[in-house]
Copies of this chain bind each other. A is one copy, B any other.
Amino acid sequence: MSQDHPSGLSHLDSAGAARMVDVSAKDVSARTATATGKVLLSAETVAALRGEGVPKGDALAVARLAGIQGAKRTPDLVPLCHPIAIHGVDVGLEVVDEGVLISATVRTADRTGVEMEALTCVTTAALGLVDMVKAIDPEAVVTEVRVEEKTGGKTGDWRRSQ
């Protein structure tokens, strides 16, 4: 494969052209990644999601499934991502006063890390949730989406510093 870009951007070759980096020589190993994010919502929407005074519905289930299915679509969405075998996905949704906290853990036994899958899971869960509430809360905001932790692979475990 072609040489790396001097900037350190690994998905570019020395001339700056995009490529899918060769990982065929990497070992298959167990890897996980956890990402988190928030959807900021109005007090009225938070009450609706908590089912205050009304039957609780499928809104959170829709967001959870959007996240799980979004994780599977990562190589369709992120142009230079490798198609990899996702072996487990857990999505956590917690309704708090300011909105909904989302966390996602993705597991694989494959040749690359799954942080993009975890981030895609959080963002698609967030999009699924915003779609459910947008009629009553057009000012919803998706925010602070980030990788918290990775395990496995050659570079070993990593945890966010801040």
Residues of chain A whose beta carbon lies under 8 Å from any beta carbon of chain B:
1-2, 5-13, 15-25, 30, 37, 44, 48, 51, 53-59, 61-62, 64-66, 68-73, 75-91, 93, 107-111, 115-116, 119-120, 123-124, 126-128, 130-136, 138-147, 150, 158, 160-162
Contacts and interface: CB of A to CB of B under 8 A. Distances in A.
A7 B142 contact: no
A45 to B, nearest CB: 8
Contact of A15 (B55, B82, B128): B55
A16 B82 contact: no
A68 B119 contact: no
Contacts of A85: 82-85, 110-111
Q: Most chain-B Cβ atoms within 10 A of its Cβ — which of A53, A146, A160?
A: A146
A94 to B, nearest CB: 11
